[in-house]
C-alpha cells in the first residue's frame, strides 16, 4: 500500500506550493490515476513517492515504511518507474536496458539475460529480434515497451508511470494502454499512473484522483466522478470529452 | 643536392631520425597522458560544482594563450633544462581541450537519461561510471585528439630547452643554415601530427558507432 498524508511540496521555501496538503491511499493491486492539466502537481506527487523529489511537509509511506527512512537508492530499485521521456540508455542494448536494475542489484549475467528475454516477451517484443538492438533502432512505441519492461525487471510490487504514452501517436497509445490493462490483470501490481488525458484515465484507472492547482479535487471511481462531481472544476473537466464527441458527431452523416 | 647525396643524407641520418621521432612521441604521449589524468577529474568536478566552473575553465584557457616559447623560457629557472620542463609545458597546453570537452560531453547528456538513471536507482557514482562517462566518451576523446595534435606541434619547440625530439633537427638546421636538416625535422613532425590525428580520430569514430543512429529523443 502507498499512503500519502497531508503532503505538500514547495520549490520556493513556502512562497507557493506545487502540491498542497494532499492525502491519498493506494491499495494493494489498485491502479490510481492522477489526472490533471500540466502544472497541477501530479508529476511532483508521483516523484515524491520514490524520493526523486522530497516533500516539504507531510508523510509518505510505501509498504508501511516512511520513505524518508529508506535509503533513496534502495527505495527506487524496489519501485518500477516508467518515464514520460522514456529515458532508455542509448549506449546500452535493449536487453541491457531492460535488465539494468538487476545489474545494479548484482544479479549474475546469465540470469539477467534470461530475465531480459522473459520481460521482452512479456511486452510483446521478440527477444531474438530485439534483445541485441540499440534503442535508437526502435520506434517510439517499441521504446516505451522496453521502458515498461525495464520497470518490471526486478518484479517490483509498485509501478509509477509518468505520462508514459504521452508522446506516442493515438493508435500506438491505444495498443499500449490495452496491453497495460492485460499486464495489470496478470501481474497484479499496484500502479500510480499520471496523465492529462481523460480518456486514458477512464480506460486504465480503478480510481481517479483529479488534481488542480496542487490540490486533489476528488478521488473516486469513474462512475462516481462522472455522475457525482465534487467540484465545478471536476464537472467542467469531464464535460469536455462529451462536448468534443458531440462536435465530432455533428460532422458525421 | 642531387639524388645520390639526398639518399646518402637520409641513410646517414636514419637512426637518429628514428630516435628523435621516438623522443617526440614520448614527449607528446607522456604529456597528453598526464593531461588526461589531471583534466578528466577536473572536468568531472566542474560539471558538478558550478562555482568552480568559471575559474577552472578561465585558468586552463589563459594557459593556452601563453606563447609556447615564452612558457618554456618561463619554466627554465624553476625546472631547469631537458624533458621535465617540456613535459610540464605540454601538459599545461593539453589541459584546455581535455577539461573543456569532458565538461561539454558530460553536460550534453540528455536530462531524460539522467532522470531515468536516478529513477531506476543508480548511485551517483554508478550514474557517472555507467551512464554519463560512457555517453561523453566520444566528446572526451575528441578533446584528447586536439590536445595530442597541439602537443606534437609544440613539442617541436621544446628542443630549444634541450628536451630532444624532432625539433633538434630544426634547431641544428637553423644554426647551420642547412635547409635539408630543417626539413628533416619539420616534415616528419608534420606527418606525425597527421598520423596522431588520424589514429585518435579512428578511435573516436569507433566509439561513436553504437550511438551514431541515436537521435536525442
* pLDDT (0 to 100) of residue B214: 45
Q: Which of A76, A91, A135 sits opposite B119 (nearest CB)?
A: A76
Domain ranges of chain A: 24-53+61-221
* Cβ-contact A207, A220 below 8 angstroms: yes
Pairing of the two strands A19-26 and A190-195: unpaired
Q: Residue-wise over A30-60: b if at least 16 C-beta within 10 A, else e?
A: bbbbbbbeeebbbbbbbbbbbbbbebbebeb
Length of chain A: 253
Does B118 reach chain A within 8 Å, measured CB to CB?
A: yes
Q: Which residues, including other chains, have CB under 8 Å from residue A127's CB and lie 6 or more apart?
A: A95, A116, A117, A120, A121
Inter-chain residue contact B119 with A50, CB threshold 8 Å: yes
- Cβ under 8 Å to A: B residues 195-214: 210-211, 213-214
Interface test with B, best of A95, A136, A142 (most B CBs within 10 A): A136
Residues of A in contact with B211 (CB under 8 A): 90-91, 134, 136
* pLDDT (0 to 100) of residue A153: 93
Q: What is the CATH number of the domain that holds B32?
A: 1.10.3720.10
Domain that holds residue B163: 19-209
Residue B141: alpha-carbon gap to chain centroid: 10
- Kindly provide the ipTM of the predicted complex, given to two decimals: 0.85
Residue B175 lies in a domain: yes
Q: Report which of B70, B104, B106, B108 is spatially closest to residue B89, judged by C-alpha positions.
A: B70
C-alpha span between A174 and A137 (Å, rounded): 22
Residue B2 lies in a domain: no
Residues of B in contact with A134 (CB under 8 A): 210-211, 213-214
Residue B217 lies in a domain: no
The phi, psi pair for A59, rounded to 5°, reads -140, 140
C-alpha span between B102 and A196 (Å, rounded): 39
Query: Mean pLDDT in runs of 10 for chain A (253 residues)?
Result: 94 90 93 92 94 94 93 93 91 95 94 94 92 93 94 93 90 91 90 94 94 94 92 89 81 75
Does B116 reach chain A within 8 Å, measured CB to CB?
A: yes
* pLDDT (0 to 100) of residue B82: 86
Residue B130 lies in a domain: yes
Tally of structural domains, chain B: 1
Inter-chain residue contact A90 with B113, CB threshold 8 Å: yes
* pLDDT (0 to 100) of residue B212: 45
CATH number of the domain located at residue range(s) A24-53+61-221 in this protein = 3.40.50.300
Q: Which of B120, B134, B135 sits opposite A81 (nearest CB)?
A: B120
Q: Which of A76, A86, A91 sits opposite B120 (nearest CB)?
A: A76
Task: Identify the closest residue of chain B to A100 by CA–CA distance.
Answer: B120
* pLDDT (0 to 100) of residue B144: 96
Residue B187 lies in a domain: yes
C-alpha span between A1 and A65 (Å, rounded): 10
Residue B123 lies in a domain: yes
Weakly modelled stretches of chain B, pLDDT under 50: 212-217
Residue B13 lies in a domain: no
Residue with cell 480506460: A203
Q: How many CA atoms lie within 13 A of A54 on its CB side?
A: 9
Beta-bridge partners for A195: A35
Instruction: Tell me the CA distances in angstroms from B29 to B22, B150, B183, one per residue in order.
Output: 10, 12, 23
Amino acid at each position: 500500500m502507498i499512503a500519502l498524508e497531508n503532503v505538500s511540496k514547495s520549490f520556493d521555501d513556502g512562497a507557493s506550493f506545487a502540491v498542497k496538503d494532499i492525502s491519498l491511499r493506494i491499495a494493494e493491486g489498485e491502479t490510481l490515476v492522477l489526472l490533471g492539466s500540466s502544472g497541477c502537481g501530479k508529476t511532483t506527487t508521483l516523484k515524491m513517492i520514490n524520493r526523486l523529489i522530497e516533500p516539504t511537509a507531510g508523510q509518505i509511506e510505501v509498504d508501511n515504511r516512511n520513505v524518508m527512512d529508506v535509503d533513496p537508492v534502495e527505495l527506487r530499485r524496489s519501485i518500477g518507474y516508467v518515464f514520460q521521456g522514456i529515458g532508455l540508455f542509448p549506449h546500452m542494448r535493449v536487453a541491457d536496458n531492460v535488465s539494468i536494475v538487476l545489474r545494479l542489484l548484482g544479479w549474475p549475467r546469465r540470469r539477467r539475460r534470461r530475465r531480459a528475454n522473459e520481460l521482452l516477451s512479456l511486452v510483446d517484443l521478440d527477444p531474438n529480434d530485439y534483445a541485441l538492438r540499440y534503442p535508437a533502432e526502435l520506434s517510439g512505441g517499441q521504446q516505451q515497451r522496453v521502458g515498461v519492461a525495464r520497470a518490471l525487471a526486478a518484479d517490483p510490487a509498485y509501478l509509477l508511470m509518468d505520462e508514459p504514452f504521452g508522446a506516442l501517436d493515438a493508435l500506438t497509445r491505444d495498443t499500449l494502454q490495452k496491453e497495460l490493462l492485460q499486464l495489470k490483470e496478470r501481474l497484479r501490481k499496484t500502479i500510480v499512473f499520471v496523465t492529462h488525458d481523460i480518456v486514458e484515465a477512464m480506460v486504465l484507472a480503478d480510481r481517479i484522483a483529479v488534481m488542480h492547482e496542487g490540490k486533489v479535487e476528488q478521488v473516486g471511481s469513474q462512475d462516481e466522478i462522472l455522475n457525482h462531481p465534487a467540484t465545478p472544476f471536476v464537472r467542467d473537466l469531464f464535460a469536455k470529452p462529451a462536448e468534443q464527441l458531440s462536435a465530432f458527431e455533428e460532422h458525421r452523416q | 643536392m642531387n639524388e645520390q647525396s639526398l639518399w646518402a643524407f637520409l641513410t646517414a641520418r636514419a637512426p637518429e631520425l628514428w630516435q628523435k621521432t621516438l623522443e617526440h612521441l614520448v614527449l607528446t604521449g607522456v604529456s597528453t597522458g598526464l593531461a588526461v589524468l589531471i583534466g578528466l577529474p577536473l572536468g568531472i568536478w566542474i560539471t558538478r560544482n558550478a562555482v568552480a566552473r568559471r575559474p577552472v575553465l578561465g585558468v586552463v584557457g589563459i594557459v593556452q594563450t601563453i606563447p609556447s616559447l615564452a612558457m618554456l623560457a618561463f619554466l627554465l629557472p624553476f625546472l631547469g633544462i631537458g624533458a621535465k620542463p617540456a613535459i610540464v609545458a605540454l601538459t599545461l597546453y593539453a589541459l584546455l581541450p581535455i577539461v573543456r570537452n569532458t565538461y561539454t560531453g558530460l553536460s550534453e547528456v540528455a536530462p531524460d537519461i539522467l532522470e531515468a538513471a536516478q529513477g531506476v536507482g543508480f548511485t551517483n557514482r554508478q550514474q557517472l561510471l555507467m551512464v554519463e562517462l560512457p555517453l561523453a566518451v566520444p566528446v572526451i576523446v575528441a578533446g584528447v585528439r586536439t590536445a595530442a595534435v597541439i602537443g606534437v606541434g609544440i613539442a617541436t619547440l621544446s628542443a630549444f630547452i634541450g628536451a630532444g625530439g624532432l625539433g633538434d633537427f630544426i634547431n641544428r638546421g637553423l644554426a647551420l643554415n642547412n635547409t635539408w636538416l630543417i626539413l628533416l625535422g619539420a616534415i616528419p613532425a608534420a606527418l606525425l601530427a597527421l598520423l596522431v590525428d588520424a589514429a585518435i580520430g579512428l578511435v573516436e569514430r569507433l566509439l561513436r558507432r553504437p550511438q551514431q543512429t541515436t537521435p536525442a529523443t
